[in-house]
Amino acid sequence: MKNPLILVLCTGNSCRSHLAEGILKAALGSGYRVASAGSKPAGYVHPLAIRAMQEIGIDISAHNSKHLDEFLSQNVETVITVCGNADQVCPMFPGQVNRYHFPFDDPAHAQGSEEEQFTVFRRVRDEIRAVFGAYAAGRKDQAGIK
């Protein structure tokens, strides 16, 4: 499949899935399409998610929150869920070959001051970067991409 579509799903599509989408796009480069969506989209991308990604040089400020139904008619090669709820409600997509579940804490539920909350966003971002970086390296290795 030329430029396979990898879809990252969570419930609200405001934090985790956007962190993963940005990291995966940066790690894979061209040759893949990466998108994110949610089962109950929040309607926005969390400002602390945008800030956390800016720290590592990835701009997700133009991302928008989408419903997974927008992808039901697309040829989705791989679906990756990043929260339990999305994993449970995830439909099958046309052309879907792979499905993975990598759960992460939801930083949008972090308590405390803005800086305390931001610490949680950083932690989750770094966890997602480790997992999705390894996933991207495996995909590139499998495809023979250096």
Residue in this structure with the two tokens 């400002």, named with its chain if needed: 47
Which region among 2-6, 20-24, 104-108 has the lowest average model confidence (pLDDT)? 2-6
CB distance 95 to 76 below 8 Å: yes
Residue 10 among the catalytic residues: yes
pLDDT value of residue 115: 97
pLDDT value of residue 67: 95
124-139 pLDDT, tens digit per residue, is 999 999 999 999 999 9
Tell me: pLDDT of 84 over 90.
Answer: no
40-81 pLDDT, tens digit per residue, is 999 999 999 999 999 999 999 999 999 999 998 899 999 999
CB distance 49 to 69 below 8 Å: no
User: Which candidate in 90, 110, 124, 128 is catalytic?
Assistant: 90
Residue 15 among the catalytic residues: no
Tell me: pLDDT of 3 over 70.
Answer: yes
Give the pTM: 0.93
pLDDT value of residue 105: 94
Instruction: Find the angle CA(51)-CA(6)-CA(125) to the nearest 5 degrees.
Output: 25
User: Which candidate in 24, 48, 83, 131 is catalytic?
Assistant: 83
- How high does pLDDT run on average in the chain? 92
Q: Residue 120 and residue 126: Cα distance in Å, rounded?
A: 10
User: Which candidate in 7, 10, 53, 79 is catalytic?
Assistant: 10
Residue 83 among the catalytic residues: yes
Please, what are the domains in the chain?
5-139 (3.40.50.2300)
Number of C-alpha atoms within 13 angstroms, CB side, residue 47?
2
